[in-house]
């Protein structure tokens, strides 16, 4: 019987993935090689691209360039991206981990996604279904992309722990009425989150230790940042995940006794942090609704600043003498002017501390009270409840006061009551927002106060600024041209070579060459001649000219004097004063 030849059974062709076929089309892989890699990937339950690179057939970098060239898609270096600034709300982290992709941005109804394999149809369909947006691929190095996926899909807790740097011991955070954090959490248990608690405590303590005056917690669309104001300058300290913004805001609001459900209007509160057996730091909290969440600013209130003494504030001897003479007058009005953050409150409380004696009745109205001073009757203005500055002042006058301090004169009614109090045997201290001392008088005139009332009540005006103090360890003499000194405001006879200006350098002990701040003051007593100018409805220029004739230094002149003494730099004086 003749043998029958049975044809061998043909092996069905392997259904290669799109990436394999693309690489074969440009000669990067052979048919046999691609099939072998694909079978190995299936056996090892891994992706084709992972088996391709792990087998040493092509490097991750070369593959990214080839894929970008084949498909005409942009190539992006993901190592240059800041993971903390990438939005974590664009795509489910589980999808990112499953398909090795990272969403980079949203443009209209399209999502820009980084991938190493743009042929992965399942990934594209899942992303479209999840986001209801089209997908635009950009190509990235596979190995770098996997590291970025791992970083961006970490939990918020892990990210914050990384910022904090491990275990962190903290003191007892209290609300303004003294309740401990456990009591506050009972009202808002939903915000209890150990990493958030640690992060907030670390920021508060770091700010205090770095001598910051304010902390700014700022949410944006794709990132979140924390900045400290140190020596008058804002510095970025941390960039926590944007996902923490709601929990962090709620945590701060709970401790500050604010309404955590109200996110549409600004709120103000206070809290305390106990950092030792007998040391408590006070904080004033202000929230502000912004486009992408609530911005929170926390001001550090140091009660010891009011007890530093007048010499620590930086007054020159003649300025100090004028101020002390005015505050020991039995009646009249003393005004402190300057922008927000120029130290007006500290100056006023330093004066009150000098006047705070057992035989003196002192009452203050502020919005809100920043420094607690035992022996002084302090009232927080609450306009929503009807307790305005004017209402508080009227009440003070029925409380047998000797000295009254008004946080700020904002309107004619408050100014009118304050002036009447100054004219009827009370010493009144207050603040106004004006640029210098002479313009304060014309500002009061513009508010509608009669010249006679201004001239008969105001006894002294102090304008002030805070300039950064040069670091004594690293400051160096500055070589400033003669003409520049003249332009700055020095007189020809002053530039005699007997003194030298210094410039900031920077060292480990300071902040870019500066450490701390020093006050610059224009202390202007209201003399009889200035009273005559006020009564004649004179201008601020006339008042300023008369003040110079009487020996009152302008803010610029006072700043130049500080520069001559080597306390600050000429650049800093020019930056904080205007002439």
Outline where 311-343 has alpha helix (H).
317-327
Picking from 190-199, 509-518, 537-546, 551-560, which range would have the lowest pLDDT averaged per residue?
A: 190-199
Write down the residue that tokens 């902040």 correspond to: 511
Extended beta strands in 102-175, E state: 102-107, 110-115, 134-139, 172-175
Element (H or E) spanning 461, and its range?
strand 458-470
Quote the CA–CA distance of 481 and 479 in Å, as a whole number: 7
What tokens appear for 190 in the block?
């939903």
Write down the residue that tokens 């008969």 correspond to: 456
What tokens appear for 196 in the block?
């958030």
Phi and psi for 257 in degrees, rounded to 5?
Answer: 60, 40
Quote the CA–CA distance of 472 and 361 in Å, as a whole number: 42
Average pLDDT over residues 324-338: 93
Q: Is the pLDDT of residue 578 over 90?
A: no
Q: For residue 92, what pLDDT band results from cuts at 50, 70 and 90?
A: confident
Residue-level pLDDT at 42: 83
Average pLDDT over residues 498-523: 87
Instruction: Choose between 498 and 326: higher pLDDT.
Output: 326
Q: Is the pLDDT of residue 169 over 70?
A: no
For the chain, give every residue range classified as CATH 3.40.50.300. 305-464+521-552
Q: What is the pLDDT of residues 45-89, one digit of tens each?
A: 888 888 888 888 888 888 888 888 888 889 988 888 777 677 777
CA 559 to chain centre: 27
Average pLDDT over residues 157-177: 61
For the chain, give every residue range classified as CATH 3.30.450.90. 194-301
Residue-level pLDDT at 491: 86
Element (H or E) spanning 563, and its range?
helix 555-564
Average pLDDT over residues 371-385: 85
Residue-level pLDDT at 532: 95
Percent of the chain with pLDDT over 70: 88
Picking from 36-40, 178-182, 393-397, which range would have the lowest pLDDT averaged per residue?
A: 178-182
Average pLDDT over residues 326-355: 90
For the chain, give every residue range classified as CATH 3.30.300.160. 18-153
Picking from 22-31, 36-45, 61-70, 178-187, which range would have the lowest pLDDT averaged per residue?
A: 178-187
CB contact set of 29 (below 8 Å; sequence gap of 6+): 20, 23, 37, 57
Q: Is the pLDDT of residue 521 over 80?
A: yes
Residue-level pLDDT at 55: 80
Pick the CATH number of 194-301 from 3.40.50.2300, 3.30.450.90, 1.25.40.10, 1.10.357.10: 3.30.450.90
- Cβ(579)–Cβ(549) below 8 Å: no
Q: For residue 549, what pLDDT band results from cuts at 50, 70 and 90?
A: very high
Pick the CATH number of 18-153 from 3.40.50.970, 3.30.300.160, 3.40.50.10420, 3.40.190.120: 3.30.300.160
- DSSP-derived letter for residue 303 is G
Phi and psi for 276 in degrees, rounded to 5?
Answer: -170, 175
- Cβ(218)–Cβ(224) below 8 Å: yes
CA 167 to chain centre: 25
What tokens appear for 221 in the block?
């669309």
Q: Is the pLDDT of residue 510 over 90?
A: no
Q: pTM score > 0.85 for this model?
A: no
Rounded to the nearest integer, the mean pLDDT of the chain is 84
Write down the residue that tokens 């480990």 correspond to: 508
Domain 305-464+521-552 = CATH 3.40.50.300: yes
Instruction: Choose between 184 and 415: higher pLDDT.
Output: 415
Phi and psi for 315 in degrees, rounded to 5?
Answer: -70, 140
Q: For residue 190, what pLDDT band results from cuts at 50, 70 and 90?
A: very low
The pairs formed by 556-559 with CB atoms below 8 angstroms and a separation of 24 or more are 556/489, 557/489, 558/316, 558/319, 558/520, 558/521, 558/522, 559/465, 559/467, 559/520
Residue-level pLDDT at 155: 58
Residue-level pLDDT at 249: 93
**What is the CB-side half-sphere exposure of residue 555 using CA atoms within 13 A?**
26
Q: Is the pLDDT of residue 541 over 90?
A: yes
Average pLDDT over residues 567-578: 89
Residue-level pLDDT at 290: 94
Percent of the chain with pLDDT over 90: 31
> Residue 422: how many CB atoms within 10 A of its CB?
23
């Amino acid at each position: 019987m003749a043998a029958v030849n049975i044809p061998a059974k043909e092996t069905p062709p392997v259904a290669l993935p799109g990436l394999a076929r693309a690489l074969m089309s440009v000669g990067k892989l052979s048919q046999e090689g691609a099939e072998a890699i694909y079978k190995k990937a299936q056996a090892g339950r891994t992706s084709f691209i992972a088996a391709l690179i792990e087998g040493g057939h092509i490097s991750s970098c070369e593959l990214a360039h080839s894929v970008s060239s084949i498909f005409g898609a942009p190539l992006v270096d993901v190592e240059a991206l800041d993971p903390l600034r990438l939005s974590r709300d664009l795509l489910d982290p589980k999808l990112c981990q499953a398909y090795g992709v990272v969403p980079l941005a949203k443009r209209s109804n399209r999502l820009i996604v980084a991938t190493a394999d743009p042929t992965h149809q399942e990934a594209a369909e899942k992303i479209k279904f999840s986001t209801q947006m089209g997908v635009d691929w950009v190509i990235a190095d596979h190995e770098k992309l996997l590291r970025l996926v791992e970083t961006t899909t970490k939990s918020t807790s892990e990210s914050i722990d990384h910022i904090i740097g491990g275990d962190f011991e903290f003191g007892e955070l209290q609300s303004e009425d003294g309740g401990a954090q456990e009591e506050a959490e009972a009202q808002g248990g939903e915000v209890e989150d150990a990493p958030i608690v640690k992060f907030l405590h670390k920021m508060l303590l770091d700010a205090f230790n770095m001598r910051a005056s304010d902390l700014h917690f700022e949410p944006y669309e794709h990132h979140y940042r924390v900045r400290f104001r140190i020596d008058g300058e804002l510095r970025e300290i941390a960039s926590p995940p944007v996902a923490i913004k709601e929990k962090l805001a709620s945590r701060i609001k709970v401790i500050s006794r604010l309404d955590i459900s109200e996110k549409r209007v600004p709120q103000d509160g206070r809290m305390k942090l106990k950092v030792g057996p007998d040391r408590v730091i006070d904080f004033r909290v202000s929230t502000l609704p912004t486009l992408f969440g609530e911005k929170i600013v926390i001001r550090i209130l140091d009660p010891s600043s009011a007890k530093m003494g007048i010499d620590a504030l930086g007054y020159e001897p003649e300025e100090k003498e004028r101020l002390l003479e005015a505050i020991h007058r039995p009646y009249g009005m003393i005004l402190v002017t300057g922008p927000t953050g120029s130290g007006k409150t500290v100056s006023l409380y330093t004066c009150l501390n000098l006047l705070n004696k057992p035989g003196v009745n002192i009452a203050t109205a502020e919005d809100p009270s920043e420094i607690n001073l035992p022996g002084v009757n302090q009232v927080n203005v609450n306009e929503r409840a009807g307790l305005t500055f004017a209402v508080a002042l009227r009440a003070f006058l029925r409380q047998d006061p000797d000295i009254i301090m008004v946080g700020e004169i904002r309107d004619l009614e408050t100014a009118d009551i304050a002036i009447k109090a100054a004219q009827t045997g009370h010493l009144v201290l207050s603040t106004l927002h004006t640029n210098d001392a002479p313009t304060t008088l014309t500002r009061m005139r513009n508010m509608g106060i009669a010249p006679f009332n201004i001239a008969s009540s105001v006894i002294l005006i102090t304008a002030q600024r805070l300039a950064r103090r040069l670091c004594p360890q690293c400051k160096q003499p500055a070589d400033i041209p003669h003409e520049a000194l003249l332009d700055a405001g020095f007189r020809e006879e002053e530039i005699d070579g007997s003194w030298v200006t210094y410039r900031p350098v920077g060292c480990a002990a300071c902040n870019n060459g500066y450490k701390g701040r020093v006050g610059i003051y224009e202390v202007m007593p209201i003399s009889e001649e200035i009273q005559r100018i006020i009564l004649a409805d004179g201008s601020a220029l006339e008042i300023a000219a008369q003040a110079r004739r009487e020996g009152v230094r302008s803010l610029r002149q006072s700043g130049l004097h500080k520069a001559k003494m080597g306390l600050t730099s000429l650049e800093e004086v020019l930056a904080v004063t205007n002439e």
